[in-house]
Amino acid sequence: DLGCGNGGDALWLAGQEWRVTATDISAVAVERLAALARSHGFGDRVTAVRHDLRTSFPDGEFDLVCAHYLHTPFDLDKAAVLRSAAHALRPGGRLLVVDHGSTAPWSWTAGSDVRYPSPREVAADIALDPGTWTVEQADALTRTATGPDGRTAEVTDHVLVVRRAG
């Protein structure tokens, strides 16, 4: 789980019997997730580690690498990070990237000129060899989101799934 933040995805995966390596640049986030994992009885399934993905990446080979809303104010070459993630997949493994595709009206970026690359653009930026990796899904999906004040709005999420050849 790249950019695990509060650890919601890591904890959900652990609850589905996955062994999870979750990483974040924030030592506070990593420590908080480790404590939450232990309190949920997932201490043996969740490994929380601090990485600055600009310079380091978790060790190992993975069946699934998730990058949900990996947006940061730091200077991050996201394509390079996702390329590293793809190369860390075992044969048959999948890279799941979920990004914003629109701005909710309550977002701090509402009214700005933020441009969200499409899933196909993200896949092209990663520049993986099509002989080894296959784009299984590249979709823009809409859903109803609820903001902090209870307002709802339709938002778009971009979903990219890339599979390493088995």
Over residues 96-138, the pLDDT tens digits come to 999 999 999 998 777 788 889 999 999 999 999 999 999 999 9
Give pLDDT, residue 74: 76
Give pLDDT, residue 113: 81
Q: Which domain holds residue 32?
A: 1-59
Integer Cα distance of 82 and 84 in angstroms? 5
Give pLDDT, residue 112: 80
| β-strand pairing of 133-146 with 152-164 | antiparallel
pLDDT band per the 50, 70, 90 thresholds, residue 2: very high
Give pLDDT, residue 24: 95
Per the structure, the count of domains in the chain is: 2
- CB 21 within 8 Å of CB 63: no
Give pLDDT, residue 109: 78
DSSP string, 59-100: -S-EEEEEEES---SS---HHHHHHHHHHTEEEEEEEEEEEE
* Paired tokens of 140: 């823009």
Q: Are residues 114 and 136 in the same domain?
A: yes
Q: Are residues 82 and 134 in the same domain?
A: yes
- With 80 as the cut, is the pLDDT of residue 144 above it? yes
Given 59, 75, 108, the domain boundary residue is 59
Question: What is the CATH classification number for the domain harbouring 42?
Answer: 3.40.50.150
- CB 24 within 8 Å of CB 30: yes
Strand partners of residue 137: 161
Helices (H), 4-160: 8-15, 27-39, 78-87, 119-126
Question: pLDDT tens digits, residue range 24-82?
Answer: 999 999 999 999 999 999 999 999 999 999 999 999 999 999 999 998 777 899 999 99
Integer Cα distance of 122 and 124 in angstroms? 5
Q: Are residues 4 and 23 in the same domain?
A: yes
Question: Model-level pTM greater than 0.85?
Answer: yes
Give pLDDT, residue 85: 97
Give pLDDT, residue 111: 76
From the list 137, 32, 125, the residue with the least C-alpha distance to 82 is 125
Which amino acid is residue 78, in one-letter code?
K
Q: Are residues 95 and 32 in the same domain?
A: no
